[in-house]
Structure 1
Amino acid sequence: MSEPILAFATLDLLLEGLELSSDIEAAKSHDWVSHVNTSCYDGDWDVLPLIIPKEHLDSHIILQAFSHNCESPWVESQYLKRLPSIRALIDRFECDVLSVRLMRLHANSYIKPHRDQGLSLEASSQARIHIPLEISPEVQFQVDGATVPMVVNSVWYINADAEHSVKNTGDTSRINLVIDCNVNEWLFDLIMNSKNKTYCCKKVS
């Protein structure tokens, strides 16, 4: 018997009471690092690591931003310590939070279709959450061919194991807070109780 595969879902997680705009401006003052997988995108795509493997706490920002396959505990980076509202937002996740990054796709840039193997509810016990902090109508985020209707401060579960891409044809950058976390009962219920879910075209047996 086949079961549907979830492509994406909006999560009912309130962001009220958080001064995120001031944190975003503070984050922009730091030195971000270009995404290391340069074959995966055209234009400019960079990252500011916020929760990182403890073993890389004193390492170069590249290791802090992209070393995810490790068993080290996850700790706050020097950057997150200066972003109190974003820290408070992360604290609203009642599950184990792993990697957290700010990811900025600059104007006239394109993240090519790709998959992050195994990162979905169906494929593993982990999930990827996207929260757009700066976005415009010219940004198109697609999962399995369907467009995710992202707006500022909305919260989305994204099936990163499915093919996905992002195109920014506008004149301003898009900044998303990207959170990878372990799925517990709280997060699973939040995702499955979403009133706005879209399923993939593919099925699993």
Structure 2
Amino acid sequence: MLGKRGFQSVKAIQRYGKVSLAQRRRWEAALPRHQTSDHLYPQTHDICSGTCIPNIADVDHEEVVAEQMLKSTNDWRHGRTVVELGVLADALKACLNCGMPLQLTHAVDIQNYGLSAIIKIPCSNTCCQYLNNVPTGKKHGRVWNANTKLAAAMVHSGLGERQVNSFLSSLNIPAVSHKTISRRQTEMGTVVQSVARESTEMALMEEIELTEKF
């Protein structure tokens, strides 16, 4: 016996198992033949409360569940994306709503932001189905680190916007917009000027010290 919210008897547990099995069979029967139940995302209009585990201790008849599939674009399967594995692994640990682990194969869409992206992954818990935004990299404020690093690499290597996007396109990585590159170059320009100023001041101080000694 598990308490007020749990099942009160062996009979209740058996009834729960029968209802769950019947629901699973009904969902699988509604699937097209070329799909498997691993990629099924049914939606219900009822929102579960508490632990998000249905309490069917008082259920005498089979429960009818409305099904609605989430449309998947599969765009995330095409091309390449720059991914920080640590960030992705941490984001896939648990659904933000119910805590159930997320599956990358359940992704339904992707939104690119320069070199980084946000992957849309619905929770596989049929009682939750929360659409999680899974990032592929880190941010500082609202800015993706990968885009700032790209601007720094452009300054370091002397490449322009056209050369960078040609390079990315050859690798089948989405091109970065002119607006994004321009903003990140402005961000990097401020930092480069600050570092150059400090370096110049340090060199001037060393020159003054050497002049005074000799």
TM-score class, shorter-chain normalisation, is: under 0.3
Which entry has the higher C-alpha Rg, 1 or 2? 2
> What TM-score, normalized by structure 2, do the two folds share?
0.20
Task: Select the structure that is richer in helix.
Answer: 2
Structure richer in strand, relative to its length = 1
